[in-house]
Amino acid sequence: MFGSSKLVDPRVALPGRPDPVLGPCRHEVFGIDVHDVPAGSEVAYFALGCFWGEEKLFWSTPGVTNTAVGYMGGDTPNPTYREVCTGRTNHTETVRVCFDPARVSYEALVRQFFEQHDPTQGMRQGNDVGTQYRSALFCTSDAQAATAEALRAVARQRYAAAGFGAVTTTIEPAASRPFYWAEDYHQQYLIKNPGGYCPIHATGVACG
């Protein structure tokens, strides 16, 4: 998919709407509402390209307790997928991940994040071009931010040594960048559409 490769001035971003585009929605894998945070779980947000395949990556990870897809990092409240694809919301496709820190650490999830996409591609991921495919981490705590910063430094070294360009992943506080839920048909898309689009962007660069 091709979209805009430049962020727009927030003053001209689409206006969006006051209400979420997603109502109650049962997770196709975990059997709970996608909005739920299971007891003992923490929340993290990862943007690493088309969210259909990336959500599957996370729901398949042991220790992950819930997932959902949506939009984050932009200026349009409660956008639709069509609006995000115009490049006039400044959002990037994002996976909301609930995880049990007793079973999988945030560090392990961030390492997986850097290894399972190409964080050097800027406003694209493979054939998917546009600001909605940019690489980003949205952190829910100072501890998450410190871990993300440390692993981004490792990724920069490893990708440079492997001959890639500069890592373009941004790290932002989730508190200042609300997560907006994507429409029902995007949630667990590859369960609903087993033959659906699922590009693999792993580079083979290890960040552990």
**pLDDT tens, position by position, 69-82:** 999 999 999 999 99
Q: Half-sphere exposure of 44 toward its Cβ, with a 13 Å CA cutoff?
A: 30
Q: Are 136 and 94 in contact (CB under 8 A)?
A: yes
Beta strands, E only, 73-109 = 92-99
Q: Where are the alpha helices (DSSP H) in 119-205?
A: 142-161, 189-192
Assign 185 a pLDDT band (cuts: 50, 70, 90): very high
CA distance 198 to 14: 28
Tens of pLDDT, residue by residue over 81-93, are 999 999 999 999 9
pTM above 0.95, yes or no: yes
CATH no., domain 10-192: 3.30.1060.10
Average pLDDT over residues 28-33: 98
Residue corresponding to tokens 């990708």: 159
50 part of the active site:
yes
Q: Which one-letter DSSP state was computed for residue 160? A: H
- Is residue 45 within 8 A of residue 39, CB to CB? The reply is no
Confidence class of residue 1 from pLDDT cuts 50, 70 and 90? low
Give the chain's mean pLDDT. 96
Phi, psi values for residue 43, rounded to 5°: -120, 140
Helix (H, G, I), strand (E, B) or coil at 170: strand
Point out the catalytic residue in the list 50, 98, 139, 207.
50
* Local confidence band at 5 (pLDDT 50, 70, 90 cut-offs): confident
Judge whether residue 119 has pLDDT over 90: yes
Whether residue 200 has pLDDT greater than 80: no
Residue 4's pLDDT is 74
User: Residue 199: which pLDDT band, with cuts at 50, 70 and 90?
Assistant: confident
In the predicted model, what is the mean pLDDT of residues 178-192? 98
Q: Quickly state the pLDDT bin for 146 (edges 50, 70, 90).
A: very high
Average confidence (pLDDT) over 186-193: 97
Packing angle of the helix pair 142-161, 106-115 (nearest 10 deg): 30
